[in-house]
Chain A
């Protein structure tokens, strides 16, 4: 059992839920309200020093009554200890947890991926948009259990949507906002952007 688990229970009291110790791994469940404090404490406290973020991911169970868990795998390089922190969210409710990009810069893309695949919003993330699917992907969040393996739309519809993204849909808003380049965009593209219609698909039926 990783001694950090006891330290967490001592410091955060009832913000810490159950602690699981199995297969040489320690998993600590934390409430969503305090998870940011817990993670910051784990990073910044001398003696804990979880300076390395191994992974951020999410798990949804087949059993619809079980919670959707957001998982942070932390590691302290100096003491070679791994710790897993989990937050349980209601899979049918709003999925939101705080972002830890300011603590570990490696969390940036990892959180974007969890957002893309599960729809979990990381509040405070500087640039939360889809990373693996295209930004205006309309079918949903693929790794949710109610998302079928072959997708929601028919194959021809998926091909059509993929082939007919507007040119500005291939760029993020940050890129489009680069001032000089914005002036050189074609006029109808600028009109669409001004109306917020970046994802309008041509020829939609």
Chain B
């Protein structure tokens, strides 16, 4: 606890700020017992199951209890691609989660649409729900997912309980979108060396 100082010359007194102590306690408890809501859709869900199984074991990170009801979960792990037909479902599940809640976007398809730059696929779940940690990979190795989870732990431990902006509910705006349309179009544009992938012949 780096916020602690000892009073000079005394072994019996420690001082710290009250908020630092509360933040430390609450964030530790939150991070070390995140109950995941596994929104598993495709191949990443299988790697998620493998991460939860005996060899890689999520239970040692406090995530043993998979909450299949969003009302009892802390972190929504979107494991797999998200087609447009499924977008309202993940939005509803996200809205049903009580605060504090976080979202891990597992895999390339959940983060950016992956190899599916076509009519059916949401180009990244961040167009639909706010995301805290993106885990790349197709599918990410279990070690990769664990690294992402530990990164989320770090993020949670750095949070401030007394900052209300972290815990506000971000609902869809009156246009029915989370982000302005220009931003959605911009982040959905193909990037990188993908010149040939739209030519049919």
B78: interface (CB < 8 Å): no
Contact of A155 among B188, B198, B200 (CB under 8 A): B188
Residue of A nearest to B188 (CB): A155
A156 → chain B closest CB, angstroms: 3
Q: Which residues of A contact B174 (CB under 8 A)?
A: 203
Inter-subunit contact A158/B84 (CB<8 Å): yes
B87: interface (CB < 8 Å): yes
Contact of A147 among B119, B172, B175, B201 (CB under 8 A): B119
Inter-subunit contact A163/B176 (CB<8 Å): yes
List which A126-149 residues lie within 8 A (CB) of chain B.
133-134, 139, 142, 145, 147-149
Q: Which residues of A contact B128 (CB under 8 A)?
A: 159, 163
A17: interface (CB < 8 Å): no
Residue of A nearest to B179 (CB): A156
| A150-B119 CB under 8 A given contacts A133-B85, A134-B85 | yes
Q: Which residues of A contact B85 (CB under 8 A)?
A: 133-134, 162
Residue of B nearest to A167 (CB): B88
A168 → chain B closest CB, angstroms: 13
Cα separation A24 to B65 with both chains bound (whole Å): 54
Inter-subunit contact B185/A163 (CB<8 Å): no
A65 → chain B closest CB, angstroms: 15
Q: How many residues of B contact A (CB 8 A)?
A: 26
A23: interface (CB < 8 Å): no
Counting chain A residues whose Cβ lies within 8 A of the other chain, the interface size class is: 20 to 34
B30: interface (CB < 8 Å): no
B61-101: CB near A (< 8 Å → 1, else 0) gives 00000000000000000000000110110010000000000
A160: interface (CB < 8 Å): yes
Inter-subunit contact B119/A159 (CB<8 Å): no
List which A79-118 residues lie within 8 A (CB) of chain B.
none
| A154-B122 CB under 8 A given contacts A159-B87, A160-B175 | no
A165: interface (CB < 8 Å): yes
Q: Which residues of A contact B200 (CB under 8 A)?
A: 62, 145, 149
A191: interface (CB < 8 Å): no
A202: interface (CB < 8 Å): yes
B57 → chain A closest CB, angstroms: 36
For the complex of A and B, list the 10 residue pairs with the smallest distance between their C-beta atoms, beginning with the closest. A151-B119, A156-B181, A155-B188, A162-B84, A156-B184, A164-B176, A162-B87, A203-B176, A134-B85, A155-B185
Show the binding face of A for B, using Cβ within 8 Å. Answer: 62, 133-134, 139, 142, 145, 147-152, 154-165, 170, 202-203, 205
